[in-house]
Amino acid sequence: MIPNKVKDDIAKLSFKPTLDRLSARASEVVTEEFCKPHCGHGPEGKLFCSDAEGVYKRFLSLLVKTYCEHN
């Protein structure tokens, strides 16, 4: 029998490539739809300002939820 901790670790590892793609997509959308209209530029390096970081996390959460519901 596989312990729940090991099952969770396996699930996280198998979902990581998908999460990386969704994270990149969320970053692109937040940059185009939030940062550029509000600030006039994208994030500096890989860091969002605090407002954009909140939008990014919420959008990524929505992407993951939608992905999981449809797959």
44 three-class SS: strand
Distance CA 21, CA 39 (A): 25
Task: Report the Cα 7 to chain-centroid distance in Å.
Answer: 22
pLDDT in tens, 15-58: 889 989 999 999 999 999 999 998 888 887 778 888 899 999 99
Q: What pTM, to 2 d.p., does this model score?
A: 0.76
The secondary element (H helix, E strand) that includes residue 56 is helix 50-70
Say if residues 59 and 14 touch (Cβ distance below 8 Å): no
| Structure tokens, 48 | 């969002």
The band of 7, judged by pLDDT with boundaries at 50, 70 and 90, is confident
The band of 60, judged by pLDDT with boundaries at 50, 70 and 90, is very high
Radius of gyration of the chain (CA): 15
